[in-house]
Amino acid sequence: MKPLARAACVVALLAPLVSEASGATASPAVAAAREARTWRQSHERDILHEFVALLAIPNVARDRPGIERNVTALTAMLERRGLDVRVLRLDDAPPIVVADLRARGRARTIAFYAHYDGQPTDTLSWNGLPWTPVLRDAAGHEQPLDGARALDPESRLFARSSGDDKAPILALLAALDAMRAAKRAPVFNLRLVFEGEEEAGSPHLSTYMERYPDVLRPDAWLICDGPVHQSGRPLLGFGARGTTSVDLTVYGPVKGLHDGHYGNWVPNPISRLAHLLASLRDDAGRVTLPGYLDEVVPPSEAERKALAAIPDVETSLRGEFQIGGVEGAGEALNETLLRPAINIRGFQSGSVGAHATNTIPTEARASIDFRLVPAQTPASVRAHLERHLRTLGWTLVDAAPDSATRVTHDRLVRLAWGAGYPPARTSLDAPFSLEVAAVLGTLGRDPVRTPTLGGSVPMYLFQQAPRGTPAIILPIANHDDNQHAPNENLRLQNLWDGIETFAALFAALRP
Ligand SMILES: [Zn+2]
């Protein structure tokens, strides 16, 4: 066990709850979290009103007037608090709002990232309207936003982006307010970075980082996005898998043929594509694509330990998903996510049921998505698959083949590669990783540490400039916040916890 981690455990044992820690001996993190709680308890309605005002502004990335209204509102919220605000612009991409609170002397710059845009909505599926925030208690009854009564922490605020991802914006600002009321200030340079097109796939983030290197190259990143662990414990995510995808089309005869007349002589594209796909992963889910696993960096000792400490969710998930068996040869879910995946996400050809015909079809298509781990890249995956297919006797084309090509090549497959990006991982042993985990540990809410998310976010962008910048995902929203779906919501206690977490980090992260 590393000294810092041991220290965190000791403090956690001595002060299992912020409220129980003694004022005289409390660490800066515990003291700041307790001050934030006290401040929040007397300002809950104010926080709620500011949150509701921000949530009422439509925020889909392609809705430029809505995006600009968000930028204006955010700028005002940040300037009101005395932060130095810059609005970064790039052609007509949604702006990135950056705000700084500088420390005295030479200090690290630690950036807290969130995004103010949200997923497009299917308004008819909402119980209410996406940009008309509504507070409901745990039983679903609407609650007044005004009033003298204390707010029920189990009540939820329903609106697009209440969880994903305006909650951290409000929590960060409330944490600053609480700190200021207690006459504290961060000793590092605090930078807030709010992106406006994350839900559209961050198509300009990389260009923004090239255009504004002085602003978007801090010493460390905390990416405040996504939900906490399903167990309700805080979550620190140290990586994300990369991704790439390919669509394959295998060609048969140029017209559908009677399978009685030609069935043992004309090759069937469905059957051939099925064999091709079966050569990539075996019946137990083990990858058999040659070379695909060669570049995989084995998990570190720290990653193995973190995995072992993740609460068991497998049994309940099996019930929830109603699956009789799993892949992974007995590994826990999070362990399997450390490996790259080949997922066959679609297969199309011919017809079934009442529409089935006795025909050899003209083509069969499949779509595959790959989840990459260090040190794979989209280019290396492409090279492995294409080499493998050539070895199996396939001729690769990138457009529909003409007659001459069809007649002279027996096994023709068309490949259409999608865009992709590499994986990213921050070491759990990195000083910044230990520092952040230790601060959360002192609050008595020991975080679940996942070496990587199974899904893909372009975390490599945060790490690459300069290369190796630590980037850690620190979400605050409830896991059942319906993010991206109708009736997105934020449980108020998650917002309150987030304020304390950010206040503790502001107070305890070193210069
Ligand atoms: Zn998000």
Tell me: the pLDDT tens digits for 438-483? 999 999 888 999 999 888 888 999 997 556 899 999 999 999 899 8
Domain 242-292+340-417 carries which CATH code? 3.30.70.360
Asked if 422 and 249 count as a contact pair (C-beta separation under 8 A), the reply is no
How close is the Cα of 54 to the center of ligand 1, in Å? 16
- Among 96, 119, 109, 89, smallest CA distance to 485 is for 119
Mean local confidence (pLDDT), 343-356: 96
Domain ranges of the chain: 3-240+424-508, 242-292+340-417
pLDDT at 171 > cutoff 80: yes
**Cα–Cα distance list, 478 to 154, 229, 343, 489 (Å):** 11, 8, 28, 8
In this structure, the strands spanning 156-158 and 235-237 are unpaired
Residue 152 burial (10 A CB sphere; 0-12, 13-18, 19+): middle
Q: Which residue has the higher pLDDT, 5 or 281?
A: 281
Orientation angle between helical segments 28-41 and 44-55, nearest 10 degrees:
80
Specify the pLDDT at position 445.
82
How close is the Cα of 224 to the center of ligand 1, in Å? 8
DSSP state of 402: -
pLDDT at 75 > cutoff 70: yes
Question: Which of 272-286, 318-332, 355-369 comes out lowest in average pLDDT?
Answer: 318-332
Mind listing the pLDDT tens digit for each residue in 139-165?
999 999 998 888 999 999 999 999 999
Mind listing the pLDDT tens digit for each residue in 224-282?
999 998 888 999 999 999 999 999 999 999 999 999 999 999 999 999 999 999 999 99
How close is the Cα of 236 to the center of ligand 1, in Å? 15
Strands ordered across the beta sheet of 363-372 = 341-348, 363-372, 242-251, 412-417, 395-397
Average pLDDT, rounded, for the chain: 92
Cβ neighbours, 10 Å, residue 122: 10
When pLDDT is cut at 50, 70 and 90, the band that residue 17 belongs to is very low
Round to whole Å and give the CA distance between 102 and 218: 13
Mean local confidence (pLDDT), 383-405: 98
In the chain, the amino acid numbered 40 is R
How close is the Cα of 199 to the center of ligand 1, in Å? 7
Alpha helices in 234-325 (DSSP H): 259-262, 269-278, 301-308, 314-321
The fraction of the chain above a pLDDT of 70, given in percent, is 95
How close is the Cα of 452 to the center of ligand 1, in Å? 16
Specify the pLDDT at position 467.
64
Specify the pLDDT at position 160.
97
- Quick one: fold of 3-240+424-508? Aminopeptidase (3.40.630)
How close is the Cα of 164 to the center of ligand 1, in Å? 5
How close is the Cα of 118 to the center of ligand 1, in Å? 7
Q: Which residue has the higher pLDDT, 330 or 77?
A: 77
How close is the Cα of 226 to the center of ligand 1, in Å? 5
Highest mean pLDDT among 11-20, 166-175, 227-236 belongs to: 166-175
How close is the Cα of 459 to the center of ligand 1, in Å? 12
Mind listing the pLDDT tens digit for each residue in 195-218?
999 988 889 999 999 999 999 999
Mean local confidence (pLDDT), 324-342: 92
> Which residues touch 321 (CB under 8 Å, ≥6 apart)?
none
If you compute the radius of gyration of the chain from its CA atoms, what whole number of angstroms results? 26
Specify the pLDDT at position 239.
94
Q: Which residue has the higher pLDDT, 13 or 84?
A: 84
Mean local confidence (pLDDT), 131-136: 97
Question: Which of 7-16, 30-39, 106-115, 133-142 comes out lowest in average pLDDT?
Answer: 7-16
pLDDT at 23 > cutoff 60: no
Round to whole Å and give the CA distance between 209 and 193: 12
How close is the Cα of 480 to the center of ligand 1, in Å? 14
Round to whole Å and give the CA distance between 169 and 190: 14
How close is the Cα of 120 to the center of ligand 1, in Å? 12
Mind listing the pLDDT tens digit for each residue in 184-195?
999 999 999 999
How close is the Cα of 478 to the center of ligand 1, in Å? 13
Round to whole Å and give the CA distance between 74 and 196: 11
SS3 (DSSP) at 348:
strand
